[in-house]
Amino acid sequence: MSVDTEQLFDRQTVTQLSQSQQEPEWMLEFRLKALEAASRLRLPKLEKTNITRWNFTSFPAYQPEEAVKSAKDLPEHLQSLLSGEADDNLIVQKNSSPVVQQIDPALKEKGVIFTDLATAVREHPELVKKYFMTKALQPDEHKLAALHAALWSGGAFLYVPRNVEVEAPFQTLFWASGEKAGLLPHLLVMAEDNSSLNVVANYIADENTHAVFNGALEVFVGANARVRVAALHTLNDTTVDVSYRRAEVDKDGHMEWIIGELNEGRTVSDNTTHLRGQGGIALVKSITVGAGEQRGNITSRVHHWGTHTESDIMARGVMKDKAQNILNGITKIEKGASKANGVQAEKVLMLSREARGDANPILLIDENDVKAGHAASVGKIDPIQMYYLMSRGLSRAEAERLIIFGFVGPVLDTIPIESLRERLYGEIERKLKP
Amino acid sequence: MSTPKLTIKDLHVAIEEKEILKGVDLEINGGEIHAIMGPNGTGKSTLASALMGHPKYEVTKGSVILDGEDVLEMEVDERARAGLFLAMQYPSEIPGVTNSDFLRSAVNAKRGEGNEISIMKFIKQLDKKMAKLGMDESFAERYLNEGFSGGEKKRNEILQMMMLEPRIAILDEIDSGLDIDALKVVAESVNSMKSPEMGVLIITHYQRLLNYIQPDFVHVIMNGRIVKSGGPELAEKLEAEGYDWVKEELGIEDETVESKA
Ligand SMILES: Nc1ncnc2c1ncn2[C@@H]1O[C@H](COP(=O)(O)OP(=O)(O)OP(=O)(O)O)[C@@H](O)[C@H]1O
Ligand SMILES: [Mg+2]
């Protein structure tokens, strides 16, 4: 099926969107060029998942919302996703608009920038122009990337200068509301040399909202910098969610991803890290929980370019009902990346006969002097483990619960905000209830 | 509470259509310690597993009654909550579930909803019992049996028994894989629990364990049946002379369950 993008989104819509964000000329040009590319490019080809009939294009291109006075005025179910401290660094985006923005003034003084991306385009054009969809994610990769480039709104820009270490997470919340919604937030994160930071990105939709998410995340990890990004998607069954995430890691940089795919609808998730400099490290932890008719294609990919680089991909999937998820792990060691070490493990636990889960581990190695390993498994709950737990008095449901949380727990427990972790435990519990 | 009573009558058990137990009769009362001995492959673990309700073992005939209740009608977890406990010959490993979370769930399952143990009290009990078993504190936070050595798994089984205080405890080769010191520690722990409130069935190959835990009754199993019963002196004789004399006395040629009885 070919969707005529031009028909759905014309130049005028894109121009209006750009003007409403008071963007400079170069950004409008960038958008229009991407719009043109979107009509020409194809959808990405995903391993074992046919997405040609998914809705990526039917949504309101621009839906401005009123700012909220403070985070305290957000609905309760959103607040439970946040750490709830008064000095939180927080950006909340409702549909197309940032509605809450706050940053600890002490950080501002140190030169930290944390603002919605539209503001950053105006106030820090030199940084944005250089890094926004030029080095990590490109608008012409495929139709979805091009659509994102043409229609992104809100988003967030985070810049942490050299030698600045920030313990408290930078939190972003992307919230779809109303009958129909389109969210195309772009998160651009720059960690300068020797800095360290944590980011949490939440993606959520109201119960009856039919939403299309097409989000992107680009992270630049400077030399010896440490970045941890947790992206947590808990979207409803009438939502299509596309996430393209990229990280570029410099010498001795450290990138950790925690990806929670708990959507009930359709999910395309592609997470790619390039270890460019010598000694860079990438850790990718991903949890996918599917129930009902949920469908997903989840890719975790690391490219080793520098010598002595290391990566570890840990992907877990739990599937019940008729959920279908494909978990792809790709470790690519490029020629010249000697002494690199890349390992990965994809494990899928199936809770029902009709569920489908695939684990595809792929190692691509173009260099001799390296270490690499992979493991993959797809299986049911082991009846002997169930017997063991039940023989100590645990009910069937409780034993099953322990085994499932034991399966995802080691990944879940690395989430840096306690309230968020608890909320996710609750979310998974709710999804897996018989 | 009354003293426990487990009555096994004419128990036949098959695994994958093959009959392994061919009519076992046994009665265990609170305060009693029974030992079952017998060559490899004669059905000892089968008896233990069938009593606990292992999914692969099918009871084809006979009855098992605990305190007047039909055990064979119960799910595995109901059997446990009724007071049955099996320290397994090969305990499962459960990744991602800490020993202490698991134990607390188990203790609470037994106590029932609304009567959960306080975390403080639980930790105190656990610490005390682990110390008694010479287990390092770190075992509380390690994943259940994952990467435990053979001996550590056995100690962990006994730890569970001590936390759950069963009415009938079955210990399947609890001595295998234990060094001498650990054997003493485990035996002491079992002895310390000895009371009219608990009956014990010990499956072992070695007299050594029975030197530390004095049995009241010793049974020999062959061909899927208890073929001989006696007092502690029977275990000593088996240790000294092996099983040949029993086979001769009873005219058994092949003691494994393979033989057509
Ligand atoms: N899955 C199975 N399929 C076929 N036969 C089985 C299976 N499991 C057990 N058996 C057989 O049942 C018989 C009894 O086994 P059981 O484990 O009860 O022996 P045991 O007396 O406990 O031996 P040991 O002293 O070696 O522990 C053995 O011959 C064994 O091979
Ligand atoms: Mg055995």
Condensed to tens digits (0 to 9), the pLDDT of residues B197-223 reads 999 999 999 889 999 999 999 999 999
How far, CA to CA in Å, does A331 sit from each of A11, A44, A128?
39, 19, 29
Residues near B166 by beta carbon (within 8 Å), at least 6 away in sequence: B80, B83, B84, B85, B198
Residues of B in contact with A394 (CB under 8 A): 77, 105-106, 109
Q: What is the pLDDT of residue A434?
A: 73
Give CATH superfamily name and number for B5-36+45-91+167-250.
P-loop containing nucleotide triphosphate hydrolases (3.40.50.300)
Regarding the beta carbon of B48 and ligand 1, being less than 6 Å apart is answered: no
- If one counts every other C-beta atom within 10 angstroms of the C-beta of residue A347, the result is 20
Helix (H) or strand (E) holding A312: strand A310-319
Q: Which backbone phi and psi does B132 adopt, to 5 degrees?
A: -60, -35
Whether residue B261 has pLDDT greater than 50 = no
Condensed to tens digits (0 to 9), the pLDDT of residues B97-145 reads 999 999 999 999 999 999 999 999 999 999 999 999 999 999 999 999 9
**Shortest-distance ligand to the CA of residue B87:** 2
With beta carbons less than 8 A apart as the criterion, state whether B251 and B261 touch. Answer: no
Name the average pLDDT for chain B: 94
Q: What is the pLDDT of residue B255?
A: 80
Closest CA to ligand 1's atom 6:
B15
Q: A394–B101: do the CB atoms touch at under 8 Å?
A: no
Do the domain assignments include residue A218? Answer: yes
Pairing of strands A170-176, A97-102: unpaired
**Shortest-distance ligand to the CA of residue B46:** 1
Domain of A223, in residue numbers: 5-276
Amino acid at B25: D
How far, CA to CA in Å, does A407 sit from each of A228, A316, A393?
22, 8, 21
Which residue of B lies nearest to A409 if distances are taken between CA atoms? Answer: B96
d(CA A158, CA A222): 13
When pLDDT is cut at 50, 70 and 90, the band that residue B258 belongs to is low
How far, CA to CA in Å, does B191 sit from each of A89, B31, B185?
59, 11, 10
Q: Encoding tokens for residue B246? A: 């029993």
Q: Count up the domains in chain A and report the number.
A: 1
Residues near A109 by beta carbon (within 8 Å), at least 6 away in sequence: none
With beta carbons less than 8 A apart as the criterion, state whether A191 and A161 touch. Answer: no
Interface of B with A in 101-120 (CB under 8 A): 101-102, 105-106, 109-110
With beta carbons less than 8 A apart as the criterion, state whether A216 and A186 touch. Answer: yes
Higher pLDDT, B259 or A112: A112
With beta carbons less than 8 A apart as the criterion, state whether A317 and A263 touch. Answer: no
Three-state helix/strand/coil letters over A189-202:
EEECCCCEEEEEEE
Centroid of chain to Cα A358: 20
d(CA A195, CA A223): 9
Radius of gyration of chain B (CA): 18
Do the domain assignments include residue A143? Answer: yes
Interface of B with A in 135-194 (CB under 8 A): 143, 160, 164
A286 CA: distance to closest CA in chain B (Å): 15
Q: What is the pLDDT of residue A11?
A: 94
Q: What is the pLDDT of residue A3?
A: 52
d(CA A139, CA A34): 6
Do the domain assignments include residue A336? Answer: no
Q: What is the pLDDT of residue A410?
A: 81
d(CA A254, CA A310): 10
Question: Largest alpha-carbon pair distance within chain A?
Answer: 69
Question: Largest alpha-carbon pair distance within chain B?
Answer: 59
**Shortest-distance ligand to the CA of residue B15:** 1
Assembly ipTM? 0.96
Regarding the beta carbon of B29 and ligand 1, being less than 6 Å apart is answered: no
Residues of chain A whose beta carbon is less than 8 angstroms from a beta carbon of chain B are 382-385, 387-396, 398-399, 402-403, 405-410
Three-state helix/strand/coil letters over chain B:
CCCCEEEEEEEEEEECCEEEEEEEEEEEECCCEEEEECCCCCCHHHHHHHHHCCCCEEEEEEEEEECCEEHHHCCHHHHHHCCEEEECCCCCCCCCCEHHHHHHHHHHHHHCCCCCCCHHHHHHHHHHHHHHCCCCCHHHHCECCCCCCHHHHHHHHHHHHHHHCCCEEEEECCCCCCCHHHHHHHHHHHHHHCCCCCEEEEECCCHHHHHHCCCCEEEEEECCEEEEEECHHHHHHHHHHCCHHHHHHHCCCCCCCCCCC
Q: For residue A264, with 0-12 CB atoms within 10 Å meaning exposed, 13-18 middle and 19 or more buried, which class applies?
A: buried
pTM for the model = 0.86
Q: A393–B106: do the CB atoms touch at under 8 Å?
A: yes
Do the domain assignments include residue A410? Answer: no
List the single residue in B76, B92, B143 with the smallest CB-CB distance to A385. B92
Number of residues written out for chain B: 261
Q: What is the pLDDT of residue A69?
A: 87
Do the domain assignments include residue A202? Answer: yes
Regarding the beta carbon of B46 and ligand 1, being less than 6 Å apart is answered: yes
B163 CA: distance to closest CA in chain A (Å): 10
B76 CA: distance to closest CA in chain A (Å): 6
Do the domain assignments include residue A197? Answer: yes
Condensed to tens digits (0 to 9), the pLDDT of residues B175-197 reads 998 999 999 999 999 999 999 99
Closest ligand 1 atom to Cα of B205? 25
Do the domain assignments include residue A100? Answer: yes
Do the domain assignments include residue A364? Answer: no
Q: Is A320 helix (H, G, I), strand (E, B) or coil?
A: coil
Q: What does pLDDT average to in each consecutive run of 10 residues of chain A (434 residues)?
A: 62 95 97 96 94 94 91 88 82 96 96 98 96 97 97 97 96 96 97 97 95 98 97 96 98 96 97 98 95 96 98 95 96 98 96 94 96 94 97 96 92 77 84 81
Closest CA to ligand 1's atom 19:
B41
Pairing of strands A156-160, A186-191: parallel
Condensed to tens digits (0 to 9), the pLDDT of residues B17-32 reads 999 999 999 999 999 9
